[in-house]
Chains A and B, each alone.
Chain A
Amino acid sequence: MKNNNYSPKYIKYLKKIKKDTVTTKIYQVLILALFLVLWEVLVQVGVLDAFFFSSPLRICTTVVDLFATGNLLHHIFITLGETLLGFAIATILGTLIAIALWWSNKLRSVLDPYIVVLNSLPKIALGPLIIIWVGAGTNAIITMCVLICIVITILSMLSAFLNCDKDKILLMQSFGASKFQILTKLILPNALVEFISVLKINVGMAWVGTIMGEYLVSKAGLGYLIVYGSQIFKLDIVLTSTVVLCLLAGGMYFFVGLLEKKVKRI
């Protein structure tokens, strides 16, 4: 950009926008810092009981301790692995099912009531059944994660497919396109934006699924740490795991955001 072409007022306007984003960032950091300091101080002066509320410093030492024994990394690895796997399976399988439902009107109308019921059912209710069917282990956790993500994936992708402009389909047909060509050259690329927003929703959902699964059955993982910590009344462990979870989920969301930026540029 050639700055010398802009009027002074416009330059001022640009500066203001830049300043606004900077101040927003500063406030965001400030709130976090204030929260941490307040928390620490209240614990130190004894207003809050460290036994129930832990404290930022105690969380730091817990992180260091857990790292030293090699445990934390192990638990993170387990939970992250389950979440990513569940996320990937639900997204791919859900999209494939949505494609099948788009392809066949018959299939769609036949399955419609089942999907509606599955959507409104609280998936956690299936927990005991899942454990009996696939065993009380990693499989059950991943199954829970997939179950929670997949229905919303199917419904969102299907409605994106069906919302494609009728005239665009006519255009393809006037060129003599086959159904498969309509799918690959129009329906799928047209639904890309919706696909990204499904990914975003699934990032949140996948963590819910995994942690819920771990509450039910696990022997390791962050969800397990939380349950274990609360059972032995080590709130340090519970809060440490929660903070780590926040960071992981935030990081995953960040990567989807990067992907979104890349797609938007196309």
Chain B
Amino acid sequence: MENYLIFDHVYFNYFTKTGEFNAINDLNFNIKKGEFIAIVGPSGCGKTTILSLVAGLLEPTEGKIMLDGESVKTANIGYMFQRDHLFEWRTIYKNILLGLEIKSKRVDADTAYIDELLVKYGLADFKNKHPSELSGGMRQRVALIRTLAVKPKLLLLDEPFSALDYQTRLDVCDDVKNIIRQEKQTAILVTHDISEAISMADRIFVLTSRPATLKCVEQLEFDNALTPFKRREEKHFSKYFNKIWEELSNEK
């Protein structure tokens, strides 16, 4: 398969009053359509910066980022954050409509797709509720559906589970992975949790500490049918874990 997202010699510098510093240093990688990538790296190394670059919210100081042959500035990209950021003054349904409203293309075909997602992922009964009436796990599912409603070409997840307690986190991992696979989304997950990365991804990119550049890439071989939770019980799970843990501890 051909390359879908391309990072071509990407550099990024932050400008502050006290100086200019290099956050991303000569980053090169390719992602194929339908792939699930996890990016792990020491905290503060520049993971969020990479996602902001992909989302077109920041512009590379040097280098080029292309998604499916177009510039990421114009591409339709979905972004999911650490917290769900549902708007309390909107109902669940209205929250999910947010993206379409902004793009002002609330055509029938799209609302039909939203209704389909709501039914498929068990949110139809909560349509008219407000976010505070839902559990943390449920809210993250709504946040994901809100992002998918605009049919993004690429889904970015910035530590989307770190605000949840451990038990919920394992459930939501399964849930999110399942939805992403069913909707055949290409996704990039950023996390500092190695086991989360191994349980979710097809490939893992390990970053160096700041300025971030690609340290190594790990191709994961798991049975396709395994849920993230089941993956954790596999024998080679810990082998991957040790390998990546070692790579990361060399960075500190």
Given A186-B87, A266-B89, A175 and B81 touching (CB < 8 A)?
A: no
Q: A135: CB under 8 A from chain B?
A: no
In the complex, the chain B residue whose C-beta lies closest to that of A174 is: B79
Q: B124: CB under 8 A from chain A?
A: no
Q: A96: CB under 8 A from chain B?
A: no
Given A172-B102, A174-B55, A189 and B150 touching (CB < 8 A)?
A: no
Report chain A residues within 8 Å CB of B101.
Answer: 185
Report chain A residues within 8 Å CB of B79.
Answer: 170-171, 174
Min C-beta distance of B141 to chain A, whole Å: 16
Q: A165: CB under 8 A from chain B?
A: yes
B102→A192 contact, CB < 8 A: no
Given A175-B99, A175-B102, A185-B101, A170 and B89 touching (CB < 8 A)?
A: no
B82→A167 contact, CB < 8 A: yes
Which of A165, A167, A174, A189 has a CB less than 8 Å from the CB of B77? A174
Min C-beta distance of B76 to chain A, whole Å: 8
Report chain B residues within 8 Å CB of A192.
Answer: 89
Given A171-B81, A192-B89, A266-B89, A176 and B103 touching (CB < 8 A)?
A: yes
Report chain A residues within 8 Å CB of B76.
Answer: 176
B85→A165 contact, CB < 8 A: yes
B150→A175 contact, CB < 8 A: yes
Q: How far is the CA of A1 from the CA of B98 in the complex (A)?
A: 35
Report chain A residues within 8 Å CB of B55.
Answer: 174
Q: A123: CB under 8 A from chain B?
A: no
Report chain A residues within 8 Å CB of B102.
Answer: 172, 175-177, 181, 185
In the complex, the chain B residue whose C-beta lies closest to that of A266 is: B89
Report chain B residues within 8 Å CB of A190.
Answer: 87, 89
A168→B89 contact, CB < 8 A: no
Interface mask (B39-55 → A, CB under 8 Å = 1, otherwise 0):
00000000000001001
B85→A167 contact, CB < 8 A: yes
Min C-beta distance of A165 to chain B, whole Å: 7
Q: How far is the CA of A266 from the CA of B101 in the complex (A)?
A: 20
In the complex, the chain A residue whose C-beta lies closest to that of B57 is: A173
Q: How far is the CA of A190 from the CA of B85 in the complex (A)?
A: 12
Interface mask (B55-93 → A, CB under 8 Å = 1, otherwise 0):
101000000000000000000111101110101010000
Can you list 26 A-B pairs, Cβ within 8 angstroms, ordered by A? A165-B85, A167-B82, A168-B85, A168-B87, A170-B52, A170-B57, A170-B81, A171-B79, A171-B81, A171-B85, A172-B102, A174-B55, A174-B57, A174-B79, A175-B99, A175-B102, A175-B150, A176-B76, A176-B103, A181-B102, A185-B102, A186-B87, A189-B87, A189-B89, A190-B89, A266-B89
B residues neighboring A (CB under 8 Å): 52, 55, 57, 76-79, 81-83, 85, 87, 89, 98-99, 101-103, 150
Ranked nearest first, the 9 interchain pairs of A and B with the lowest CB-CB distance are A174-B79, A175-B102, A175-B99, A177-B102, A189-B89, A167-B81, A168-B85, A171-B85, A174-B55
